[in-house]
Amino acid sequence: MTEETAQALLDYLLPQLQKEFSTTRKVLAAVPAEHCDYKPSELCMTGLQLANHIAVAEAFFLRGVLNGAFEWKAMEFKTPAEVLAFYDETIPPLMAQIAGMPGAKLAQDITFAVFTQPAVTYLSFDMSHGIHHRGQLSAYLRPMGAKVPSIYGPSADEPIAAAAGH
């Protein structure tokens, strides 16, 4: 991949990633502490574990792009508020750093699991991963007694007028 192509991909992906951050933040903020141990099946993570995974994995992918290598740092938060605080304190500064990355570093190949591809392409992987798990978590909210925020439009709990403000 050329430096110019990598920069163009960043220019395309970063605004989307920033929008998804705001949406994911709303879902994380909706997780109720009193029922965060809910899981729909024994095969599933609890709501807190899933929220934790979303936040920590996003930091993992963004740091991997920045550092040119992936290193998992396991973190287990005890409350949804701790997850949200980590997400708020960690993700925006990482995105700001990525916004300033030079094309050469964005085009550099990085290996993750069985994939070796240019660093910038992992922003798309990060976004897809986050959207996937956010969808799972949003399906947990109502059974946990919480309201489901708007995601790409209104929800039964957040009508169109409220959703338009986001």
Helical ranges in 31-68 per DSSP H: 47-67
Read off the tokens for 131: 């959207």
How confident is the model over 10-24, as a mean pLDDT? Answer: 96
Q: Residue 34: what residue type?
A: E
Residues 73-105: tens digit of each pLDDT: 889 999 999 999 999 999 999 999 999 999 999
How far is residue 80 from each of residues 39, 75, 130, 161, measured CA to CA in Å?
A: 15, 13, 17, 27
Domain boundaries, the chain: 3-164
> Residue 166: its pLDDT value, please?
54
How confident is the model over 128-149, as a mean pLDDT? Answer: 97
pLDDT band, residue 126 (cuts 50/70/90):
very high
CATH numeric code, 3-164? 1.20.120.450
Q: Model-level pTM? A: 0.93
pLDDT of 163 over the 80 cut: no
> Residue 162: its pLDDT value, please?
55
How many C-beta atoms surround the C-beta of residue 126 within 10 A? Answer: 21
How many CA atoms, within 13 angstroms, populate the side-chain half-sphere of residue 119? Answer: 25
**% of the chain surpassing 90 pLDDT:** 93
- 160 by Cβ neighbours in 10 Å (0-12 / 13-18 / 19+) ranks as exposed
Per the CB < 8 A criterion, the answer to whether 31 and 144 are in contact is yes
